[in-house]
Structure 1
Amino acid sequence: MGHDSANIKPESWLVSAGRGSQPGDPLNVPLVPASNFIIGSGREYSRDDGTPTWEALEAVVGGLEGGKALAFASGMAAIAAVFDQLAVGSLVVLPDDCYQGVAGLAAAGEQRGRWSVQRIAVDDTEAWVRACADADLIWLESPSNPLLTVADLELICAAPRKPSAIVGVDNTFATPLNQQPLAFGATVAIQSATKFIGGHSDLLAGVATTNDPALWHALKKSRELTGATPGTLETYLAVRGVRTLAVRLQRAQQTAMLLAERLEAHPQIMRVRYPGLSSHPTHAVAQRVLKGFGTIISFDVLGGAVAADQVCQQVKLIHHATSLGAVESTMERRAAIPGQEHLPPALLRLSVGIENVDDLWNDLSAAIAASSI
Structure 2
Amino acid sequence: MHPETLLVSAARPAHEPDAPVNEPVHFSSTFIGWEPDTAGPRRIYGRMSNPTWDGPERLLAALEGIADPETTPGLLFSSGMAALAAALHLASAGGRVLLPQHAYQGLGSLAQQMQAEGRITVESVDITDTSAVSRALSDPTSLLWLESPTNPMLEIADLPALIEAAHAAGALVVVDNTFATPLVQRPLTLGADVVVHSVTKYLAGHSDVVLGAALTGDPELHARLLRHRSLHGGIAGPMESFLALRGMRTLALRIERSQATAAELARRAHQSAAQGNLPIAQVWYPGLPSHPQHELAAAQMSGGFGSVLTLEVAGGAEAADRVVQALRLWVPATSLGGVESLAERRRRFGAEPETVPEGLIRLSVGIEHVEDLWEDLQQALRAVTASASPGR
Query: TM-score interval w.r.t. the shorter chain?
Result: over 0.9
Q: Which residue of 2 aligns with 1:5?
A: none
Give the unaligned 5+ runs of structure 2. Answer: 35-40, 67-72, 387-392
Q: Which residue of 1 aligns with 2:349?
A: 337
Which sits farther off after the overlay, 81-90 or 293-302?
81-90
Shift of 1:159: 2.2
Q: Contact conserved, 1:158 with 1:184, CA < 8 A, in 2?
A: no
Say if 2:347 is the partner of 1:354.
no
Measured in 1, the distance between the counterparts of 2:357 and 2:54 equals: 41
Measured in 1, the distance between the counterparts of 2:218 and 2:194 equals: 8
Shift of 1:341: 5.4
Which sits farther off after the overlay, 163-172 or 102-111?
163-172
1:9 alignment partner, one of 2, 11, 31? 2
Q: Contact conserved, 2:102 with 2:353, CA < 8 A, in 1?
A: no
Q: Contact conserved, 2:96 with 2:142, CA < 8 A, in 1?
A: yes
Say if 2:55 is the partner of 1:56.
yes
Measured in 2, the distance between the counterparts of 1:256 and 1:328 equals: 13
Q: Contact conserved, 1:132 with 1:161, CA < 8 A, in 2?
A: no
Q: Which residue of 2 aligns with 1:3?
A: none
Measured in 2, the distance between the counterparts of 1:130 and 1:27 equals: 53
Shift of 1:367: 0.5
Backbone CA RMSD of aligned residues = 1.4
Q: Which residue of 1 aligns with 2:295?
A: 284
Which sits farther off after the overlay, 237-246 or 85-94?
85-94
Measured in 2, the distance between the counterparts of 1:330 and 1:114 equals: 36
Q: Which residue of 1 aligns with 2:43?
A: 43
Measured in 2, the distance between the counterparts of 1:317 and 1:282 equals: 31
Give the unaligned 5+ runs of structure 1. Answer: 1-7
1:90 alignment partner, one of 92, 95, 111? 95
Q: How many residues align?
A: 365
Say if 2:238 is the partner of 1:232.
yes
1:263 alignment partner, one of 258, 269, 274? 269
Q: Contact conserved, 2:141 with 2:170, CA < 8 A, in 1?
A: no
Q: Which residue of 2 aligns with 1:81?
A: 86
Q: Contact conserved, 1:315 with 1:363, CA < 8 A, in 2?
A: yes
Which secondary structure state, in structure 2, belongs to the residue aligned with residue 31 of structure 1? coil
Query: Which amino acid counterpart does residue 70 of structure 1 have in structure 2?
Result: L
Q: Contact conserved, 1:136 with 1:162, CA < 8 A, in 2?
A: no
Cα-to-partner distance string for 1:327-346 (whole Å, 9 max, x where unaligned): 00000000011211512010
Larger Rg, first or second structure (1 or 2): 2
Measured in 2, the distance between the counterparts of 1:181 and 1:285 equals: 14
Measured in 2, the distance between the counterparts of 1:69 and 1:128 equals: 29
Q: Which residue of 2 aligns with 1:365?
A: 378
Say if 2:128 is the partner of 1:129.
no
Measured in 2, the distance between the counterparts of 1:121 and 1:160 equals: 15
Shift of 1:163: 8.2
Structure 1 runs (4+) deviating above 6 angstroms are none
TM-score, L = length of structure 1: 0.95
Query: Which amino acid counterpart does residue 124 of structure 1 have in structure 2?
Result: D
Query: Which amino acid counterpart does residue 174 of structure 2 have in structure 1?
Result: G
Which secondary structure state, in structure 1, belongs to the residue aligned with residue 19 of structure 2? coil
Q: Contact conserved, 1:70 with 1:208, CA < 8 A, in 2?
A: yes
Query: Which amino acid counterpart does residue 363 of structure 2 have in structure 1?
Result: L
Shift of 1:42: 2.1
Q: Which residue of 1 aligns with 2:197?
A: 191
Q: Contact conserved, 1:303 with 1:372, CA < 8 A, in 2?
A: no
For residues 159-178 of structure 1, the aligned pairs below 5 Å read 159=165, 161=167, 165-178=171-184
Which secondary structure state, in structure 1, belongs to the residue aligned with residue 24 of structure 2? coil
Measured in 1, the distance between the counterparts of 2:106 and 2:171 equals: 22
Query: Which amino acid counterpart does residue 248 of structure 2 have in structure 1?
Result: V
Measured in 2, the distance between the counterparts of 1:138 and 1:131 equals: 10
Measured in 1, the distance between the counterparts of 2:326 and 2:169 equals: 53
Measured in 2, the distance between the counterparts of 1:96 and 1:340 equals: 10
Evaluate the alpha carbon distance shift between residue 163 and residue 269 of structure 1 in structure 2; reply closer, same or farther with a 3 A threshold: closer
Task: Give the share of equivalent positions with the same residue, in percent.
Answer: 45
Q: Which residue of 2 aligns with 1:299?
A: 311
Shift of 1:111: 1.1
Which sits farther off after the overlay, 344-353 or 25-34?
25-34
Shift of 1:158: 2.0
Measured in 2, the distance between the counterparts of 1:371 and 1:34 equals: 54
Shift of 1:130: 3.3
